[in-house]
Amino acid sequence: MKVLDLLCPMDHAFEGWFASEEDFLAQQQRQLVQCPMCGSGEVRKALSAPRLNLRGGSDAPSLTEKSVTQEVVNAVPGRGSPALALQAAWLELARKVMASTEDVGERFASEARRMHREETPERAIRGKASAQETAELLEEGIAVFPLLLPDAAKNTLQ
């Protein structure tokens, strides 16, 4: 298993797990690797710290697993930064929105109007609407909130 630190053009940092370097390159070529924050397929490898296995009969210094992990984490740029924490919180929120709403797709504007007019039971919905449709809904007094959800938030990550 190969764990790579990846970056998109917006410098969103994330990890990718691949069977091998060839697997990463093949997935990247087929545009299967996307930033979980913005959905960009323009992903590049970042510098990453190696994972050191200090267990076993080697002459390695006797360090606890916790101290090795902490040294590696602190050596990787961007790890533990407020920006990375914000990205993780945003993805968590996006996944909660996905889990607690019904996707009505292109019918969003009409379905929101039907609920507003009490023609259908009120429920939490999400879907697609143009900027014009969103403005019209707001003018009609229908509370909507545009929310950019990257494709990665719409799928379960393994």
105 versus 15: the higher-pLDDT residue is 105
pLDDT (0 to 100) of residue 88: 76
pLDDT (0 to 100) of residue 60: 44
Q: Does 73 share its domain with 92?
A: no
Q: Does 27 share its domain with 72?
A: yes
Q: Does 144 share its domain with 76?
A: no
Q: Specify if 33 maps to a domain.
A: yes
Q: Are 117 and 138 in contact (CB under 8 A)?
A: no
Q: Specify if 23 maps to a domain.
A: yes
65 versus 49: the higher-pLDDT residue is 49
pLDDT (0 to 100) of residue 109: 94
Q: Does 128 share its domain with 149?
A: yes
- Other CB atoms within a 10 A radius of the CB of residue 77 amount to 12
Q: Does 42 share its domain with 75?
A: yes
Q: Specify if 122 maps to a domain.
A: yes
Mean pLDDT in the chain? 76
Q: Specify if 58 maps to a domain.
A: no
Q: Does 105 share its domain with 122?
A: yes
pLDDT (0 to 100) of residue 153: 64
Q: Does 6 share its domain with 46?
A: yes
Q: How many domains does the chain have?
A: 2
Q: Specify if 70 maps to a domain.
A: yes
Which helix (H) or strand (E) segment holds residue 26: the answer is helix 21-29
Q: Which residues contact 141 (CB under 8 A, 6 or more apart)?
A: 116
Q: Specify if 57 maps to a domain.
A: no
Q: Are 135 and 155 in contact (CB under 8 A)?
A: no
- The model's pTM is 0.49
Q: Specify if 74 maps to a domain.
A: yes
pLDDT (0 to 100) of residue 121: 93
Across the beta sheet with 2-7, what order do the strands follow?
A: 13-18, 2-7, 44-45
Q: Does 142 share its domain with 121?
A: yes
Which residues form the domain of 8?
A: 2-52+63-80
Q: Residue range 45-74: average pLDDT?
A: 50
pLDDT (0 to 100) of residue 116: 93
Of the candidates 6, 13, 84, the one whose C-alpha atom is nearest the C-alpha of residue 45 is: 6
